[in-house]
Amino acid sequence: MNTLANRRFVKMNGLGNEIVVVDLRLTPSGAGALDPAEVRAVAGTRGAPCDQLMVLYPARGQATDAFVRIYNNDGSQAKACGNGMRCVADLLFRESDKRELTFETAAGVVRCWPGSEPKVATVDMGAPRFGWRDIPLAKAFLDTRAIDLRIKPADPRLQSPSVVSMGNPHAVFWVDNVRAHDLAKIGPAIETDPIFPERANISLAAVASRGHLIVRTWERGAGLTKACGSAACAAAVCAARTGRTERRVVVTLPGGDLSIDWRMDDDHVMMTGPVAYEYEGRFDPALFDRAKA
């Protein structure tokens, strides 16, 4: 359980979504998944506290720049993390003169481009999936724009969310005020509802205008975060699909704004936003010894 002992890491954030990046591209033998306990040790208070750990591995095909595994701070793996991919992309853009990067993830191939200003990147989050099996849901719903899911007794005002997969499952509840609900309390209950066999990211979304959404998210495996890129994409797609907004919107999260464009020509969702660098370091081997104990 010592894959990361003495490994260099970079602590970053995307709109306050705390990200730690570890580069194992020069370690072919280290291409396996990390032990969940090792991830929890890294993400805990004695390590480099984070929402997600992004680990880069050698590219598995000539057409990609790296293979990326994404871990939530509870040790579980995630298929998508838009804010984390922007962080990874900015790091690799700094080490090369490339104007486009391609990564392989559990959700598929992700393409990234540098933004029009420093420390800004655009990520192609792929096409949303609306079929109940693709999200996935535990039972059939012909129309996933609003499914029959009432949250009682946690918050009876929340019902009939829009659901979608943006590489991971999302449920979006439409509200007038995203601060009027105790998301820290209701998020865990909805995340683990039997209707979501792989759990789900739970968002509250308010429509400020045809081009502006306000969103808060309980992220599966990570809890309340200042920003969740895939949730911003999910809310934007569901808003456009239900006629609430246009296909290009600004999504305001507690940590700041993301620009989301659900393109007409190929159905892909483009997410553009900033990244920030916090610090660098190496993981103390004693961190993992304590985790074993």
Residues with catalytic roles? 81, 228
Three-state secondary structure string covering 47-101: CCCCCEEEEEECCCCCCCCEEEEEEECCCCEECCCHHHHHHHHHHHHHCCCCCCE
Rounded Cα distance between 39 and 42, Å, is: 5
Rounded Cα distance between 30 and 26, Å, is: 9
Rounded Cα distance between 51 and 47, Å, is: 12
CA 67 to each of CA 88, 108, 282: distance values in angstroms, whole numbers, following the listed order: 11, 10, 21
Residues 217/228, Cβ–Cβ less than 8 Å? yes
Nearest alpha carbon to residue 115 among 93, 88, 82: 93
Rounded Cα distance between 157 and 215, Å, is: 17
